[in-house]
Amino acid sequence: MAAIEQVKDFLGQKRLAFVRVSSQPAEFSRKLFREFRARGYDAIPVHPKATEIDGQKCFARVQDIDPPPDGALLLTAPGITDQVVRDCAEAGIGRVWMYRAGGAGAVSADAVAFCAAHGISVVPGECPFMFLPGTPWFHRLHGFVKKISGSYPR
């Protein structure tokens, strides 16, 4: 479980890579990407098979972004996460958020261990919507349920 300080630190960064943000406009990851952009973040799309997303240049790998982002939000399958955290280390990215709303999400135990061993701050799971001020009620409800179940970051 992530500490709330790691969550706040990650969200305090303004230049974030969105790794594997969907090229499909109606997908959840695109909604999350758009929300961050609407809140003033410099959200950078990363997807190996897209050249642009929402009118922004899309990068194939985080190492291709110059200057490097302050953090990377991973919207990947766990098997891909293992390689992406290595890419983040190579690119000098010191903060990683492995997205999860349900199921495994992007979380991989090996990737979390890699981050710890390489000094990368990691939020292993969680949905960023729960922590953004003024989000719709269902995101706040998700956070409330996690609080009463004891699984909300402290």
**In CATH, what number is assigned to the domain containing residue 74?**
3.40.50.720
For residue 71, tell me if it sits in a domain: yes
Q: pLDDT for 65-76, tens place per residue?
A: 999 999 999 999
Whether residue 153 is contained in a domain is answered as no
Query: 19-52, pLDDT tens digit by residue?
Result: 999 989 899 899 999 999 999 999 999 999 999 9
Residue 154 lies inside a defined structural domain of this protein: no
Query: What is the arithmetic mean of pLDDT over 125-152?
Result: 67
pLDDT band at 1 (very low <50, low <70, confident <90, very high): very low
DSSP bridge pairs for 122: 96
- The total number of structural domains in the chain stands at 1
Other beta carbons within 10 angstroms of residue 121's beta carbon come to 18
Q: Which domain holds residue 57?
A: 4-148
- Residues 84 and 99 sit within 8 Å (Cβ to Cβ): no
* pLDDT tens digits along 91-132: 999 999 999 866 678 999 999 999 999 999 999 988 888 777
| Helix residue spans in 2-99 (DSSP H) | 4-11, 28-38, 78-91
